[in-house]
Amino acid sequence: MNLAFGQGRTVIKFTHKLVSRFRKSAGLALATLALATLGMAGFAYETKAQDSDQTPKTLVLFGDSLMAGYGLDHENGFAPKLEAALKEAGHDVRVINSSVSGDTTAAGLARLDWALVEKPDAVLLELGANDALRGMEPSQTRENLAEILEKLRGMDVDVLLAGMMAPPNMGTAYGDEFNSIYPDLASRYQVDLYPFFLEGVAAEPELNQDDGMHPNADGVDVIVKRILPDVVDLLQTTDAS
């Protein structure tokens, strides 16, 4: 299949003019009361209408099987659990899962345009594990991710880049070159970095499915808990922009 793991690192950012004139006439008093009531009702209706116009932010998850929910029931996947955690924390957000199992950075780049037709406020980008598993040249992975980040910057979309680490069996030289991609690109494009998506889950049998690479429901819980503060920071960045 398609995912990598390695040694984790600790995650490193009204106004109304009220004119009232009391009259001795009961009829006029009742009329005044009726008009005032209607005025207040109209104000309440307008406020409700304005509130309904405040649509939730849109967060697109753009990645591979780790975020697609490979091997899990829908409710146990990363996307629904992240959305639930965000809402529980008081954030009105709509999470759109545009992740595809098996995607490499090249495949992600090829489908980026149609995946972003929703014009999201923010993107959580998690790609590269399959590149490493297939032994692709780190330079190509770097180039593909750079182009994705370039396009997202052109769309004025805030990004949280989730890093991946090369499998230990790829060797030290390959690992060093691959693992440096994410901090380098985060610095170059001035985006937030979550260094290792599988932090706290990789190489933990009780948190992974039988293949040893994809998180189970408990593993997803760990990922969501760890990455949640970074996603909240991302959404707050969209508030300020």
Stated pTM of the model: 0.79
Q: Evaluate whether residue 190 is within a structural domain.
A: yes
In this structure, the answer to whether residues 63 and 86 fall within a common structural domain is yes
Q: Evaluate whether residue 3 is within a structural domain.
A: no
In this structure, the answer to whether residues 74 and 181 fall within a common structural domain is yes
pLDDT at position 135, please? 98
Q: What percent of the chain has pLDDT over 90?
A: 73
In this structure, the answer to whether residues 117 and 130 fall within a common structural domain is yes
pLDDT at position 38, please? 33
Q: pLDDT higher for 190 or 8?
A: 190
SS3 162: strand
Q: Which residues are part of the catalytic machinery?
A: 65, 211, 214
**Mean pLDDT, rounded, for 183-210:** 98
pLDDT at 28 over 50: no
In this structure, the answer to whether residues 47 and 65 fall within a common structural domain is no
pLDDT at 142 over 70: yes
In this structure, the answer to whether residues 40 and 117 fall within a common structural domain is no
**pLDDT tens-digit readout, 211-241:** 999 999 999 999 999 999 999 999 998 876 6
pLDDT at position 201, please? 99
Q: Evaluate whether residue 88 is within a structural domain.
A: yes
pLDDT band at 42 (very low <50, low <70, confident <90, very high): very low
Q: Evaluate whether residue 8 is within a structural domain.
A: no
pLDDT at position 141, please? 99
pLDDT at 53 over 80: no
Q: Evaluate whether residue 7 is within a structural domain.
A: no
Domain boundary among 54, 73, 103: 54
Q: Which residues pair with 94 in a beta bridge?
A: 58
Domain boundary among 6, 37, 54: 54
**pLDDT tens-digit readout, 81-125:** 999 999 999 999 999 999 999 999 999 999 999 989 989 999 999
Q: pLDDT higher for 119 or 19?
A: 119
In this structure, the answer to whether residues 40 and 158 fall within a common structural domain is no
pLDDT at 22 over 80: no
How many structural domains compose the chain?
A: 2
Of 125, 188, 159, 160, the closest CA to residue 12 belongs to 160
**Mean pLDDT, rounded, for 163-178:** 98
CATH of the domain at 70: 3.40.50.1110
Of 235, 224, 237, the closest CA to residue 56 belongs to 235
Q: pLDDT higher for 2 or 71?
A: 71
In this structure, the answer to whether residues 142 and 82 fall within a common structural domain is yes
Question: Is residue 160 a contact partner of residue 11, using CB atoms and an 8 Å limit?
Answer: no
pLDDT at 12 over 60: no
Which residues constitute the domain of residue 50?
Answer: 14-54
Q: Evaluate whether residue 4 is within a structural domain.
A: no
pLDDT band at 55 (very low <50, low <70, confident <90, very high): confident
In this structure, the answer to whether residues 68 and 41 fall within a common structural domain is no
Of 223, 41, 241, 5, the closest CA to residue 124 belongs to 223
In this structure, the answer to whether residues 191 and 110 fall within a common structural domain is yes
Q: pLDDT higher for 83 or 27?
A: 83
In this structure, the answer to whether residues 32 and 79 fall within a common structural domain is no
Tell me which residue has tokens 């949280």.
160
In this structure, the answer to whether residues 42 and 66 fall within a common structural domain is no
pLDDT at position 241, please? 63
pLDDT at position 239, please? 75
Q: Evaluate whether residue 209 is within a structural domain.
A: yes
In this structure, the answer to whether residues 212 and 174 fall within a common structural domain is yes
Could you tell me the CA-to-CA distances from 5 to 47, 123, 213, 223 in Å, in that order?
51, 22, 7, 13
Q: What is the mean pLDDT of the chain?
A: 84
pLDDT at 207 over 90: yes
